Structure 1
Amino acid sequence: MKKWMLMVIFVLLLSACSEEVQPTAQSEEKDEPKATEQQADQEQEGTEKDEESDEDVQPADAEEDSEELAEEEAVVEAVYELNEANWTLEPVSDEYNSQVVLLTIDDAPDTYSVEMAKTLKELGAPAIFFVNGHFLDTEEEKAMLKEIHDMGFAIGNHTYSHQKLDDVPEETQRDEIIALSDLIEEVIGERPKFFRAPHGVNTDFAKQLVKEEGMLLMNWTYGYDYFKPYMDADKLTQAMVTGEGPEVDVPYSLLKPGANLLMHDREWTAAALSDIVTGLRDKGYEMLDPEKIITP
């Protein structure tokens, strides 16, 4: 009897335990859809973030494309070639303006070159600054050259020590030219594209070396600031704008389309520079961008 009663009690206890467990299982089953909804919300948020991320990337890509296009548009086409018969620059076809002059400044960056570069920059007038190595002995002088280059001006090779090339052996000529190109590259990050010999004196060896170095050898059409009668801003302005130098036996004008104008780092030239540019423009001449000149 006792055994039977114990068995009944045991069965009743098992039934009670079974009923208590079921709600827990149902509760867990009801929580699952909630977890699924949360997961869906997370996936949706992730998708939205991905879409936002894609939207964020698109303007950057567009900006890069715009910058690349601007760089392509900034490339200047070389369409003027040097006439070695008179050292003028001539357009390769009639579609380009022939009424141009090239401004060049020798003996940079001595004393007034940065000032002259700033004047030209304000006027929007491009030029070539021909450099001597003995004006690049100090860090301050190198900084002056870099400043001129950073303003957008072309830098040319005028030999290291302004040596008259036909007075020295070929090895010295090589050093005068190559050493300066190396130094210019060290300062501004690129080698010069233009070469002008001191006093306009070249040798066959120097001509070949300059060509091998990828530089265009040029002299000039006219210049007056190294003659004593024109060491005055007003007189120099008159001579450069008209092309005439009667005080030095040039009573006629040397100004012509494509003229290659020689000037120097000089106090009177710096003072006259703005009026020279303005005067030439008033005569209908455009200042030629050196980037438009065909080089080797």
Structure 2
Amino acid sequence: MKFPGLLSVAALFIAASVSAMPDDPAKIDTCIKPGVVALTFDDGPGLYNTQLLALLARKNVKATFYIIGKNAAEPQFSTVLKSVVDAGHQLASHTYSHDNLDNMDAAKIREEMTSTSDLIFKQTGLRVAYMRAPEGNCLTPTCIGVMNELGLVISHWNVDTHDWKFTSLTPEAATDKSLEEINKVVIAESNPAVDSFVLLEHEIHKFSVELLAERVIDSIAAKGYKFVTMEECIGKPAYFGGNVTPPTNGTSVPAPSGGSSTAVPSSTGGVSRPAASSTSVTGPNISNPSKGANTAGSLRVGGWAFALASAVGYTLL
């Protein structure tokens, strides 16, 4: 017996169900609303940070900086993190040593995160609530468990300049190569009405700051996207104690229900928690809000699921 109507409905249901799936909590890489791009810079602070901040100010773009603890500990960078915050950008952790977290035990992972947290707190008075693992390597239950314990948002990316691969080329050639994925995924194939991106670049490569960053910003803005911090992208506070980075759309990002509180330095060297009270704000959890069909990744998977389900239905007719 053939049920074309029923099979069509089933195909639509499967596609909708898959497209509505939220990000993997261990690999958050899209935003909770369409039409935005979170511009992120890894591996800093670096020698070109002041130049990058000047560019971002000129373009009126707010970004998120994933900081390596051992870099920030260098005397020459002792005031850089404060400058980043004062310019309205978001700070986040990229571990202390930039080693593979998935090769570490829980104690070592915790040390990597708390050492970086303490250093950023010492320089800025802020406790970061977002982290990005080097090369995205925080996929083991041990690593995910530690991040959950510390209340850190594990943030990934879904479009990459790959700028680190091209440092041996001329600046112009390196910039062109770094734009290939951006041009394909964001400029050619995406739709700001439904898509969002977390874009990865590095601040430690000269050509990335002097040439690439401006071309990335101009081309994506021309496509119709607005740039946001990771706090706005994910919808969770940038720092323990509430949101600090100013939203780019003129509206505040709500803190979790229950009000706000002041972050308290950890006496044990770990990532601090807000002061315990009936109005305290807890650190962001690993879990991520459902995104519906507002992201490029979910829509593409949804479309694939629809096509597959439709093909199955047609075969059974």
TM alignment of 1:110-149, pairs within 5 A: 110-149=46-85
TM alignment of 1:193-272, pairs within 5 A: 193-202=129-138, 203-223=140-160, 224-228=162-166, 232-233=171-172, 234-236=175-177, 238-239=179-180, 241-243=182-184, 257-265=195-203, 266-271=205-210, 272=212
What residue in structure 2 maps to residue 106 of structure 1? 42
Quickly say closer, same or farther: Cα 1:291–1:187, change in 2 above 3 A. Answer: same
The alignment partner of 2:145 has SS state of helix
Quickly say closer, same or farther: Cα 1:254–1:111, change in 2 above 3 A. Answer: farther
What residue in structure 1 maps to residue 273 of structure 2? none
Moved over 4 A (4+): 252-256
Q: Which has the larger radius of gyration?
A: 1
Aligned length: 204
Displacement after TM superposition at 1:253 (Å): 5.2
Query: How well do the aligned residues superpose, as a CA RMSD in angstroms?
Result: 2.7
What residue in structure 1 maps to residue 29 of structure 2? 87
After superposition, give the CA deviation of every residue in 1:70-90 in whole Å (9 maximum; x if it has no partner).
xxxxxxxxxxxx733771112
Return the alpha-carbon distance in structure 2 between the equivalents of residues 174 and 255 of structure 1.
39
Quickly say closer, same or farther: Cα 1:168–1:214, change in 2 above 3 A. Answer: closer
The alignment partner of 2:65 has SS state of strand
Work out whether residues 102 and 259 of structure 1, in 8 Å CA contact, stay in contact via their aligned partners in 2.
yes
Return the alpha-carbon distance in structure 2 between the equivalents of residues 128 and 210 of structure 1.
19
- Higher RCO by CA contacts (8 Å cutoff, separation 6 or greater): 2
The alignment partner of 2:42 has SS state of strand
The alignment partner of 1:111 has SS state of coil
The alignment partner of 2:32 has SS state of strand
The alignment partner of 1:226 has SS state of helix
What residue in structure 1 maps to residue 219 of structure 2? 279
Quickly say closer, same or farther: Cα 1:289–1:132, change in 2 above 3 A. Answer: closer
Higher relative helix content: 1
Displacement after TM superposition at 1:199 (Å): 0.9
**Identity within the alignment, %:** 25
Return the alpha-carbon distance in structure 1 between the equivalents of residues 35 and 189 of structure 2.
15
After superposition, give the CA deviation of every residue in 1:105-155 in whole Å (9 maximum; x if it has no partner).
000102222321221122111111000011122333121121112111100
TM-score normalised by L of structure 1: 0.62
Quickly say closer, same or farther: Cα 1:210–1:254, change in 2 above 3 A. Answer: farther
Structure 2 residue runs without a partner (length 5+): 1-21, 237-283, 285-317
